[in-house]
Copies of this chain bind each other. A is one copy, B any other.
Amino acid sequence: MSETAPSLSIGQVAERTGLSVHALRFYEREGILADPVRRGPGGRRVYSEQDVEWLNLCIILRASGMPLPAIRQYTGLVRQGAGNELERLALLRRHQELVTAQIGRLTECLELIGYKVRVYEDHLDQGAADDLCGSLPEN
């Protein structure tokens, strides 16, 4: 019944997040952790579940292409505490637009690639027939 404040070692956090132990320390140096990470006996890092949640957010942001400096900036705002919600929102919206744009670009690329795939498929489907007269996928 006693859910003792669940504190995690860096190794456990690595396991839970999929980040490497190295990456976790690196992120901390980069100022990307919500609070400056508590230390246990022997100077070891002690993470809370909240830290893990924060890291999961960071992972989402990274996976969607936000560069570390931007994440650091967002982290800074959150660290400052209440009062700058507008700035946080603006930052998130900016990123939202970038991701949307990126999805758009990828979708365009995908269409072109799909077109090329179809050309090759057709060429191969019926290629045996007119092998010499060129159904011409030149590249």
Contacts and interface: CB of A to CB of B under 8 A. Distances in A.
A107 B100 CA distance: 8
Given A88-B120, A127-B85, A103 B100 contact: no
Nearest to A131: B82
A109 interface: yes
Contact of A85 (B92, B95, B120): B120
Contacts of A23: none
11 contacts: A34-B139, A53-B139, A54-B139, A57-B116, A60-B112, A64-B106, A85-B120, A95-B113, A96-B110, A99-B109, A103-B107
Closest 10 CB pairs of A and B: A64-B109, A89-B120, A78-B139, A99-B110, A103-B106, A92-B117, A96-B113, A60-B109, A60-B112, A85-B124
